[in-house]
Amino acid sequence: MDHTEFRVKAKEMVDYIADYLENIRDRRVYPGVQPGYLHKLLPTEAPEKPEKWDDIFKDVDQHIMPGLVHWQSPHMHAYFPALTSYPSIMGDMLSSALNVLCFTWASSPAGTELETIAMNWLGKLLGLPECFLNEKNDSPGGGVIQTTASEATLVSLLAARTRALMELSKLNPELQAAELLGHLICYCSDQAHSSVEKAGLIGLVRMRYIESDEGQSMRGAKLEEAIAADKEKGLVPFWVCATLGTTGSVAFDNLREIGQVCQKHGAWLHVDAAYAGSAFVCPEYRHWLDGVELADSFAFNPSKWLMVNFDCTAMWVKDSTALHRTFNVNPIYLRHENSGKAIDYMVGSQNEDIKKLTLKKINIMNDIDHPKADDNKVDNKFNKNNGVITQIENRNITKVDAVEVSTDVDGNIGKDDDLYDAVGDTKNLHGYNKISHGCGKIIQLEDPNKKELLHWQIPLSRRFRALKLWFVLRNYGVVGIQKHIREGVRLAQKFAALVLADPRFEIPQPSNLGMVAFRLKGDNAFTERLLKRLNARGYIHAVPACFKGIYVIRFTITSQRTTNQDILDDWNEIKIVASEILTDVFGSENGNIAVVKKPRISLKVHLFEPVYFCSSTQMG
Ligand code: PLP
């Protein structure tokens, strides 16, 4: 495709996108295809010769579109929203065209700075405390866009794990990291998302699930009890994940209580607000944020409810040094003249505060475990510099008390034993204090007096995602975003009112924000059957959840296109299918629920108020 054809075909594509979104209400939200359908329609090999764009696109229309779930549909009620919007699409279009990678400031200065600016805007919009923002370059806090909430959780767990292992290594120099790892334990509620469990699996740490209360909320007392019992057994609590807006029921853990427990035991507190975080743009929902200043990291997905298309997870940390210690590598090709003058998302603030982590001995960050051949020629002397020791030939600045030390050619610190003792047995940090030497003196790119910043994330390369976030924030403005969130909540409340007015249904848990979890009274099998049939009909799409053995249908308002009429239509569809099922089972569309007519009193009151007098188990 050349420029000329691109101009024509891309414009057609824009029309196709606009038509798709404008008319999405008309599409069946859930596809009627069977597994393997596409394999039967497409060839098994890539084409030998170039194909015409029109032929390619014809296949999209004929084969791909019928096999999609239409996530932007107003009748999409499954999962959580994955919304897009025109400013966001345009941000992604431009980002895809530019295809700049924003890992260091030098790799994309505007990309990096825009991310910091947009994340500061967003953090303020949510009412996050200033400690999470990065308005001054020497601020230890800051925001970064990760790909997913799962990744943010993992990053947070790994950073906390490193912090704990560093501390434990110092206190237990005779133990290997693997042995120390076996002592670590972290916590989340029994309602936490599966990605938290996955983070624990990847991090090779034990995870304890705290039983949530009757409102599905993790509370401080239960956490305290579990931590105290684990400490008795010699385990080391190092990380707690609190959820604001659980996946099953949009329940909220009690942040303040949990934060206080974490502070008491020195555990890192991560807040996973994947879905509900968007709601905090509205001050009336910020009561759930109470205690957030006690958290070490906080993440939510603008890619869910905030109309910034996937992927975009906003993550803030109080101390990016913790990320830097975890993800730090520093090869020469990633260093640049302006290192330290702005955030590098490859890197973090080196507002070094290792001493705070109870390390009694002085810790000098140096790659003693992994000396490189070239380093043999490097005289790695450290100089006193206003109470800060700066490594002359390398790029590390490590804040330690005024002690003069040197490294030998093998990277060992201090030639004499006294000096070695003075800086601590860094060998026993098992690489957790590692900063690679790069080429040291041989190729000197760094001004050693500049702060070098280190990693914030797992991958190196990163898309220019700040663009779409920035476009959305600007094009909707605070008022537009708040309106969108409030409308979603209003429609969910409307739906809840319809459910509660029908005696055959119940809402076993309080509903929060834009999600209502409802069920047919009685045996789980009725609700299971209802959901299966609804999805098979394809007019609306929803997924289930289970609260302590009770099967429910999660009905989430996802689309900004959902209207009052859509909700009425969806409820009508649910009632029709429910009536079919109850008629199948009980021979009556009311099941075994007796509906009593009330005497007519006034035209202004409801003509019929149904009364039910069987328990849910009776119905089963
Ligand atoms: N955390 C919670 C509470 C969620 O509800 C979800 C997904 O819905 C996730 C994490 C995972 O999000 P992601 O797909 O961005 O990893």
581 vs 443: CA distance, rounded Å: 75
Q: How many residues does the chain have?
A: 620
Cα(462) to ligand 1 centroid in Å equals: 20
Using the mean position of ligand 1's atoms as its centre, give its distance from the Cα of residue 328 in Å: 26
β-sheet bridge partners, residue 406: 381
Q: How far is CA 514 from CA 81, 106, 192, 297, in A?
A: 9, 41, 18, 25
pTM of the shown model: 0.79
pLDDT of residue 461: 84
Cα(154) to ligand 1 centroid in Å equals 12
d(C-alpha 250, C-alpha 351), whole Å: 36
Cis peptide before 311 (omega within 30 of 0): yes
| Tens of pLDDT, residues 404-457 | 333 333 333 333 333 223 333 444 433 333 333 333 344 333 333 333 334 787
Which of the pair, 388 or 282, is modelled with greater confidence? 282
Q: Yes or no: say if 473 and 482 are a contact pair by the CB < 8 Å rule.
A: no
Cβ neighbourhood burial of 493 (10 Å; 0-12, 13-18, 19+): middle
How far apart CA 210 and CA 192 sit, in angstroms, is: 10
Cα atoms found within 13 Å of the Cα of residue 124, Cβ hemisphere only: 9
**φ and ψ of 239, to 5 deg:** -155, 135
Q: State which of 147, 193, 212 you would mutate to test the pocket of ligand 1, scoring each by most atoms of that ligand within 8 A of its C-beta.
A: 193
Mean per-residue pLDDT, 152-162: 94
Closest by Cα among 368, 433, 380 to 407:
380
pLDDT computed for residue 174 by the predictor:
85
pLDDT tens digit string along 171-199?
888 888 888 899 999 999 999 999 999 99
Q: Which atom of ligand 1 is nearest to the CA of 273?
A: 3
Atom of ligand 1 nearest to the CA of 243: 3
Q: Which residues does a 6 A CB cutoff place in the pocket of ligand 1?
A: 80, 148-150, 193, 195, 243, 246-247, 272, 274-275, 301, 313
Question: Atom of ligand 1 at shortest distance to CA of 275?
Answer: 5
- For atom 5 of ligand 1, which residue has the closest CA? 247
Question: How many whole angstroms from 306 Cα to the centroid of ligand 1?
Answer: 14
Mean pLDDT, the chain, rounded, equals 80
| 313 Cα–ligand 1 center, Å | 10
Q: Which atom of ligand 1 is nearest to the CA of 148?
A: 15
The DSSP element (H or E) to which 163 belongs, if any, is helix 149-171
Q: What is the CA radius of gyration of the chain?
A: 28
Residue 329 confidence (pLDDT): 58
Task: Report which of 434, 616, 352 is spatially closest to residue 508, judged by C-alpha positions.
Answer: 616
How do residues 528-575 score in pLDDT, each as one tens digit? 999 999 999 999 999 999 888 899 999 999 999 999 999 999 999 999
Cβ of 446: how many Cβ atoms within 10 Å?
A: 20
Residue 87 near residue 70, CB atoms below 8 Å: no
Neighbours of 26 (CB within 10 A): 7
- Residue 7, H or E segment: helix 3-22
Q: How far, in Å, is the centroid of ligand 1 from the Cα of 546?
A: 17
* Interatomic CA distance for residues 174 and 165, integer angstroms: 13
How many other CB atoms sit within 10 Å of the CB of residue 232?
8
Which of the four pLDDT bands, split at 50, 70 and 90, describes residue 370?
very low
Pocket test of ligand 1: the residue of 301, 315, 512 to mutate, having most ligand atoms within 8 Å of its CB, is 301
- C-alpha 262/C-alpha 240 separation (Å) is 7
Task: Quote the CA–CA distance of 596 and 618 in Å, as a whole number.
Answer: 18
Task: Check: CB of residue 476 under 8 Å from CB of residue 125.
Answer: no
Task: Report the atom number in ligand 1 closest to the C-alpha of 313.
Answer: 15
CB 75, CB 567: distance < 8 Å: no
How far apart (Å, rounded) are the C-alpha atoms in residues 218 and 189? Answer: 6
- 147 C-alpha vs ligand 1 centroid, how far in Å? 11
162 Cβ partners below 8 Å, 6+ apart?
322, 325, 326, 432
Residues 6+ apart with CB under 8 A from 561: 24, 25, 72, 73, 74
Strands of 373-462, DSSP E: 382-385, 388-391, 397-398
Q: What sign results for the dihedral spanned by CA atoms 364, 369, 370, 375?
A: positive
Q: How far away, in angstroms, is 513 Cα from ligand 1 center?
A: 16
Q: What's residue 65's pLDDT?
A: 96
Pick the range with the lowest mean pLDDT from 86-100, 322-336, 352-366, 497-511. Answer: 352-366
**Cα–Cα dist 92/463, whole Å:** 9
d(CA 187, CA 190): 9
Residues 253, 353, 129, 454, CA torsion sign: negative
Pocket test for ligand 1, best of 252, 275, 297, 512 (most atoms within 8 A of CB): 275
Please give the span between the terminal C-alpha atoms of the chain, in angstroms, as a whole number. Answer: 62
Instruction: Give distance in angstroms: CA of 156 to centre of ligand 1.
Output: 15
Q: How far is the CA of 149 from the centre of ligand 1 (A)?
A: 5
d(CA 251, CA 22): 33
Q: What is the pLDDT of residue 377?
A: 32
Q: Strand (E) positions, 13-61?
A: none
Distance between Cα 444 and ligand 1 center (Å): 43
Pocket perturbation via mutation, ligand 1, pick of 247, 297, 465 by most ligand atoms within 8 A of CB = 247
Buried b (16+ CB within 10 A) or exposed e, 314-329: bbbbbbbbbbbbbbbe
Task: Read off φ and ψ for residue 284, nearest 5 degrees.
Answer: -65, -15
> Closest by alpha carbon to 436, among 369, 353, 383?
369
What pLDDT is recorded for position 203?
93
| Owner of token pair 């057609």 | 12
Torsion, Cα of 536, 538, 539, 544 (10° steps): 60
Q: What's the confidence (pLDDT) of residue 324?
A: 77
Give the C-alpha separation, 451 to 453, whole Å.
6
Mean pLDDT of 342-355: 53
- Taking the CA of residue 151 as reference, the ligand 1 atom at the shortest distance is 16
Find the 360 Cα to ligand 1 centroid distance in Å: 39
**Spacing, Cα 411 to ligand 1 middle (Å):** 43
**Of all atoms in ligand 1, which is nearest to the CA of residue 311?**
15
Counting atoms of ligand 1 from 1, which one is nearest the CA of 246?
3
Task: Write the pLDDT tens digit of every residue in 242-297.
Answer: 999 999 899 999 999 999 999 999 999 999 999 999 999 999 999 999 999 999 99
What is the average per-residue pLDDT within 388-400?
28
* Whole-number pLDDT of residue 380: 31
Mutating to test ligand 1, I would choose from 195, 246, 271, 512 the residue with most ligand atoms within 8 A of its C-beta, which is 195
